[in-house]
Structure 1
């Protein structure tokens, strides 16, 4: 079982929706190619299979059990890479020089664990996992979006904005491409945080732009209405 299977499982989970994701969002994984890969593989441990099982458990509402499976994937990688201080990058097709390439399932294990911990009310522990996933897959806009949501829930508007902006920076910006909903979500997140900081004109532009990617978004339309009312009353 390969990393593409684990990726498809992640997509299925997120399409089903969770308590901390907008129901209109339908995120996808993003693969980015780098040069000079240093590949680390080990056929004795089925990391992708563990990730698949972990997301199955998440869909069943068994977050604590899912965390245990994700931990096995992470622990296996830590054991194999003990003493290797190079940055870890999860890539299909190569990684940056000076880094060590690990299976995509490791990124998904950190991400899945973070997702589960948020559901379990442990956002304090989830932060390290989401950060690890985002750092190991810097071209994955969905990971950045989810990491941004954690800071949004804490009302840390600038940190949240910066992460949504990172997602926007790396996402496919074609309005007819495969990642339109991820792009729209990044723009809505940027718009939300701008509005929360009182920067209403910037927020309006971002929400308007998000509608180019997700024209039916009721979230964007509602927030534009909220911004118009706030500007009208001067709040």
Structure 2
């Protein structure tokens, strides 16, 4: 997830549109602080701030009932179509931001196994959130688990269809780029090219995408020459 987007999330009220009490305001302030620490290159300090916050969220929502984060209005409405979604407990979206934040920070610290555990929790509780799905896809990509990464990015691209405007464009670009990168590693250059060209339609001046397309051309030339 882009850190600017995370800052926006952390600064905004999460959960039901009710007046925030002092404890909720304090939690949201800590989320914003944690994201800024990550942005400032201080992932361990962010984790130290997020650890007690995650414990606090766990204490707020006890019980065995399935828990789903109330992050976006469109997600909350769509949860009803998920298995058990109608009966799930809707919880403060800040919980998922905290889980994502710890996972993101652990990636920065190259603690990929631990990062995946927390990102998996965020995705379990917000299964329709493209940013959490893409972040988990990136973590598996860093572990060179190409197919697993691809599947998560594909879920993120599908989830992005519920978004709109510039936000949807950013979500799709990230998901399609991740899928294309995985396809290259899986030896599927044609499929990768299709996805990169879809990305280029969204961001025509994106040099990173152009570089990947050039790499595909070079790989094809090498194959012909061998």
Per the shorter chain, which TM-score range? 0.7 to 0.9
TM superposition shift of 1:220 = 1.2
Q: Distance in 1 between matches of 2:92 and 2:220?
A: 49
Asked if residue 212 in structure 1 is aligned to residue 206 in structure 2, the reply is no
3-state SS of 2:86 partner: coil
Q: Which of 1 and 2 has higher RCO (CA within 8 Å, sep 6+)?
A: 1
Asked if residue 87 in structure 1 is aligned to residue 81 in structure 2, the reply is no
TM-score, scaled to structure 2? 0.80
Q: Distance in 2 between matches of 1:201 and 1:208?
A: 11
Q: Distance in 1 between matches of 2:52 and 2:42?
A: 16
TM superposition shift of 1:174 = 8.3
Q: Which runs of 5+ in 1 are unaligned?
A: 1-6, 15-27, 30-36
Change (3 A) 1:134 1:174: closer
Asked if residue 58 in structure 1 is aligned to residue 38 in structure 2, the reply is yes
Q: Distance in 2 between matches of 1:58 and 1:127?
A: 17
TM superposition shift of 1:81 = 2.6
Aligned residues: 206
Contact 1:161 1:189 in 2 (8 A): yes
Asked if residue 106 in structure 1 is aligned to residue 106 in structure 2, the reply is no
Q: Distance in 1 between matches of 2:195 and 2:138?
A: 17
TM superposition shift of 1:151 = 1.0
Q: Distance in 2 between matches of 1:231 and 1:132?
A: 40
Contact 1:9 1:52 in 2 (8 A): no
Q: Which runs of 5+ in 2 are unaligned?
A: 11-15, 80-84
Asked if residue 49 in structure 1 is aligned to residue 26 in structure 2, the reply is no
Cα-Cα RMSD: 2.9
Please state which structure has a larger fraction of its residues in helix. 2
Change (3 A) 1:12 1:230: same
Residue in 1 aligned with 2:158?
A: 169
